[in-house]
Amino acid sequence: MAQKLLSSAHDTAAHNALQKAKERQATYYDRTAKEKQTLNVGDTVRTRWDKRQPWTKAEVTKVFPHRSYELRYED
């Protein structure tokens, strides 16, 4: 099928409207968004894998990029 048959003038207008809506939403979100404090090795944290499980105490043993951490649990 020819590529020009798959696209229409409405595709561009819809795409532009969606981009504008996303930018507006980002502006509202950024008003109150705050940078989270990074954790350091030795910090005590509480984690849980499932909402049905209780919170478990752990200690940060290694810090990775992108707010990822290696944890050591009490047990």
When pLDDT is averaged across residues 54-62 and rounded to a whole number, the result is 95
Asked whether residue 6 is domain-assigned, the answer is no
The dihedral sign for the CA sequence 20, 22, 26, 28: positive
Owning domain of residue 59: 44-73
pLDDT value, residue 29: 94
Q: Give pLDDT, residue 61.
A: 96
Q: What total of structural domains would you count in the chain?
A: 1
CA atoms within 13 A on the CB side of 55: 5
Asked if residue 56 belongs to a domain, the reply is yes
Question: Can you list the alpha helix ranges (DSSP code H) found in 1-75?
Answer: 3-6, 9-32
Residue 1 lies in a domain: no
Averaged pLDDT for residues 59-73: 94
Q: Is residue 9 part of a domain?
A: no
pTM of the model: 0.56
pLDDT in tens, 9-57: 678 888 899 999 999 999 999 999 998 888 999 999 999 989 999 999 9
